[in-house]
Structure 1
Amino acid sequence: MHTAVDIITAKRNGHQLTTQHISWMVNAYTAGDVSDEQFAALAMAIYFQGLNDDELLALTTAMLNSGTTLSFSDLGKPTADKHSTGGVGDKITLPLTPLVASYGVAVPQLSGRGLGHTGGTLDKLEAIPGFRVDLTEAQIRAQLLDPGGVICAPTAQLAPADKKIYALRDVTGTVDSMPLIASSIMSKKLAEGTDTLVLDVKTGTGAFMQDEAQARQLAQKMVWLGQAHGVNTTAVLTRMDTPLGYTVGNAIEVEETLEVLAGGGPADVVELTVTLAQHMLTGAGIDADPADHLANGKAMDAWRAMVTAQYGDPDVPLPTPSHSHTVVAEHTGVVTSMDARAVGEAAWRIGAGRQYQGQAVQATAGIRLYAKPGDTVHAGDPLGTLYTETPERFETSAQILQNAIQTGQAFTAPRLIVDVIS
């Protein structure tokens, strides 16, 4: 017989936990038989002592099996999914889902909300009038058959252990632990029952894992966990020092998504969308160049069908903000850096994001950028416009945005795609 205290003490002292110990703790905590204090103590012990591969696999599997798991093997079509570790201006899920779905792949994109400097896919989609993100499993299944893509909130029965553990980590200083991050992401994603999973693991100032070596290690662990569960998993290591595209916010990012689906849009957003789509299609056994369906309108058709299926109206104009404030360049020169984390912070402070879970966001709040690193600006040129319904918040956000953008003499752009790990 083992008790929670025995298990906590063993991990605190650096001993390896058995699969039985780990699954007992996860199940007992999910059921309410182990207290928050006890699981918080275990999380802190894991934070300092780490987990070896056997323990990491056991933790991920226990969290994955804590609720229902979806299976789409009866759909008669391949399934592929993408997960991003979160960034600023990271609207990639929006054009990517219909793009991949337009090739006959089922894309069950179960997404989240924004917290802190990172935006949330569901918050962006809810800027579309009528769009619903809370769907039943039956609705998800029907939509995967036709039109093929769905972007919605996970059902409550998927990996309930993760929801409970994540909320606990959030308030106990144990969020940024490699094994806890890897098991959290992978338990949710594996519960979705997809055949192919592509991970977009960010590194840089606006990323969760700012250090490239740490981001690479996280990517390798997650790919290994996916493959250990029989899922065809690839990770793409990408740079998140500068926001993606020229928009950060909710409705404003949907607007930029529509540009991409219409065959235009910012080069970085297009590059990342097409790269991730290529890996998803390859995993699904489809040999095609995804750029074709951006050019010929098939991805846009799939988007319109998806929005309509989720009770949105693709023809209704997106909401527009009541107030705007433009920040201008103080010096002439080349933009040498645009701190993604700071831009994200400026956006949530004017209402585009939230400080705590459950806080409301403004559909119209956001930032439109006019220059990116490498561009030459002259003193007085606009750098970015802030949008909000609460203009009293402009002052702080404008200062943060101004400080986020640096100018100098020269700039060499790093590659957006750092590496592919499979």
Structure 2
Amino acid sequence: MAEQFDAVDVIRTKRDGGRLDDAQIDWVIDAYTRGAVADEQMSALAMAILLRGMAMPEIERWTAAMIASGERLDLGSVTRPTVDKHSTGGVGDKITLPLAPLVAACGAAVPQLSGRGLGHTGGTLDKLESIRGWRAGLTNAEFLAQLDDVGAVVCAAGAELAPADRKLYALRDVTGTVEAIPLIASSIMSKKIAEGSSALVLDVKVGTGAFMKSRDDAAELARTMVALGTAAGTHTVALLTDMSTPLGLTAGNALEVRESVEVLAGGGPADVVELTLALAREMLAGAGIDTDPADALRDGRAMDVWRAMIAAQGGDPTAPLPTARETHVVTAPSSGVLTRLDALAVGVAAWRLGAGRARKEDPVSAGAGVVLHAKPGDQVTAGQPLLELHADEPVRFERALAALEDGWEIGDTAPARKLVLDRIA
């Protein structure tokens, strides 16, 4: 069939700083999904977008075209108000695990289509797959039934949801164009809008362990995504949160599940509890539910939903979690206050221990990761355990230790950490 446009003309328009019109955007996304626009042409266009940027109307149309490339989930049959959350990813970011059942325990329905980890940031599906029997793949019918019955689903996105994004995401990864804010925002929001929730809360991480290192870039991404959600009729709010230090006391798959269960049992690290409750309050407000989620952590309702959610997807919530075969303890070289513990260093160490993957097809070790025995602000004594490395093969410890080499500092006083930096709506 004759194509409506020439891909080279579309590339030139953006390369020269021009605006793509609606028809050009609709065509190029559809033609790329069909295979009529080659990878090298879309690579050139992605690079032009990275260098030249996009105006908000272009980003809105690009997002709409990616949604139109596949199916949209219809959550109309769900009897509860629907609200979703998305995190841009970080080290020790296990928040989805306690958050989804907590919000469901308060009366909302939480449809969480999650992903796998790549590089130093962990993936929610990898964490949950460390639970015996749990499965990530659900049919649309299973997804909707669980959403209505249990109130929370965390699973993999189906192949028909924004297929243009799946293809473009893989291309950006190998062409140095991942950092383009219009492409990040449209990638995240095309999937979230297609998922069909009436409200969405975004957790945009900023700091060394985050995708966005600077607060200005993180705020720009948050504003862009909130505008896309609002334009699509989805009530959207973003929180900017700190990712210079790992969240909680663990980075790794089964290790983070164990910590999440502690939070659901009414304990767990203070920062994980704080962020879980901050996001839960935003989600419940978006769903129009006026209740304090802290009550559902205290009285066990959130834990009940967690067990039901895991069991509904074939998992055994009572089964022991996998543990790594080998451990290595890193001790404090001197006494004082731990003033810095770099999230990126810990994330890379966990990845090298086997908790993450370099390529999408790589396997991950369920038990591998890092346990933190101190956080910035804590008093430490020379020789006391600072970090504990977990791996199945001891040969992995050397490279993990190299990643941690400049990852912490011990001094006199640590700066106070503010976890939630800003709210954008």
| TM-score, reference length from structure 2 | 0.98
Corresponding residue for 1:52? 55
Corresponding residue for 2:193? 190
Corresponding residue for 2:283? 280
Corresponding residue for 1:372? 375
The alpha carbon displacement at 1:105 in A equals 1.1
User: 1:221 aligned to 220, 224, 232, which one?
Assistant: 224
Corresponding residue for 1:361? 364
Secondary structure in structure 1 of the residue aligned to 2:354:
coil
Distance 1:117 1:342 in 2: 9
Distance 1:19 1:407 in 2: 55
Corresponding residue for 2:31? 28
Higher mean Cα deviation, 411-420 or 198-207? 411-420
Could you report, residue by residue, the CA deviation over 1:225-251 in whole angstroms, capped at 9, with x for unpaired residues? 000000000000100000000000000
User: 1:203 aligned to 199, 202, 206, which one?
Assistant: 206
User: Would you say the 8 A contact 2:107–2:289 is kept in 1?
Assistant: no
The alpha carbon displacement at 1:405 in A equals 1.4
The yes-or-no answer on 1:337 pairing with 2:327 is: no
The yes-or-no answer on 1:157 pairing with 2:160 is: yes
Corresponding residue for 1:135? 138
Higher mean Cα deviation, 316-325 or 220-229? 316-325
Provide the alpha-carbon RMSD of the alignment: 0.8
The alpha carbon displacement at 1:333 in A equals 1.4
The alpha carbon displacement at 1:402 in A equals 4.3
Could you report, residue by residue, the CA deviation over 1:312-367 in whole angstroms, capped at 9, with x for unpaired residues? 00111111221100001111111111110110000000100001111000001011
Could you report, residue by residue, the CA deviation over 1:118-172 in whole angstroms, capped at 9, with x for unpaired residues? 0000000000000000111111001001111010000000000000000000000
User: 1:293 aligned to 289, 296, 321, which one?
Assistant: 296
**One-letter amino acid of the structure 2 residue matched with residue 146 of structure 1:** D
Distance 2:355 2:305 in 1: 27
Could you report, residue by residue, the CA deviation over 1:85-120 in whole angstroms, capped at 9, with x for unpaired residues? 000000000000000111221111000000111000
User: Would you say the 8 A contact 1:327–1:402 is kept in 2?
Assistant: no
Distance 2:423 2:229 in 1: 15
The yes-or-no answer on 1:90 pairing with 2:93 is: yes
Distance 1:320 1:289 in 2: 35
* Structure 2 unaligned residues grouped into runs of 5+: none
Distance 1:23 1:339 in 2: 42
Corresponding residue for 2:412? 409
Distance 2:45 2:322 in 1: 46
The yes-or-no answer on 1:171 pairing with 2:174 is: yes
Distance 2:274 2:130 in 1: 25
Higher mean Cα deviation, 312-321 or 260-269? 312-321
The alpha carbon displacement at 1:409 in A equals 1.3
User: 2:21 aligned to 18, 21, 25, which one?
Assistant: 18
Distance 2:260 2:417 in 1: 24
The alpha carbon displacement at 1:2 in A equals 2.2
User: Would you say the 8 A contact 1:131–1:311 is kept in 2?
Assistant: yes
**One-letter amino acid of the structure 1 residue matched with residue 323 of structure 2:** T
Corresponding residue for 1:310? 313
Distance 1:19 1:268 in 2: 44
User: Would you say the 8 A contact 1:81–1:107 is kept in 2?
Assistant: yes
Secondary structure in structure 2 of the residue aligned to 1:167:
helix
Corresponding residue for 1:71? 74
User: Would you say the 8 A contact 2:5–2:27 is kept in 1?
Assistant: no
User: Would you say the 8 A contact 1:326–1:382 is kept in 2?
Assistant: yes
Distance 2:5 2:327 in 1: 60
| TM-score, reference length from structure 1 | 0.99
Distance 1:71 1:104 in 2: 19
Distance 2:417 2:216 in 1: 16
User: Would you say the 8 A contact 2:355–2:364 is kept in 1?
Assistant: yes
Summarize the alignment of residues 255-266 of structure 1 with structure 2, pairs less than 5 Å apart: 255-266=258-269
Distance 2:399 2:412 in 1: 28
Corresponding residue for 1:320? 323
**One-letter amino acid of the structure 2 residue matched with residue 252 of structure 1:** L
User: Would you say the 8 A contact 1:307–1:313 is kept in 2?
Assistant: yes
Secondary structure in structure 2 of the residue aligned to 1:407:
strand
Corresponding residue for 1:418? 421
The yes-or-no answer on 1:395 pairing with 2:390 is: no
User: Would you say the 8 A contact 1:116–1:353 is kept in 2?
Assistant: yes
The yes-or-no answer on 1:80 pairing with 2:83 is: yes
User: 2:252 aligned to 249, 252, 272, which one?
Assistant: 249
Distance 2:323 2:89 in 1: 25
* Structure 1 unaligned residues grouped into runs of 5+: none
Secondary structure in structure 2 of the residue aligned to 1:341:
helix
**One-letter amino acid of the structure 1 residue matched with residue 295 of structure 2:** D
Distance 1:74 1:316 in 2: 33
Moved segments of 4+, more than 4 Å: none
User: 1:2 aligned to 5, 10, 17, which one?
Assistant: 5
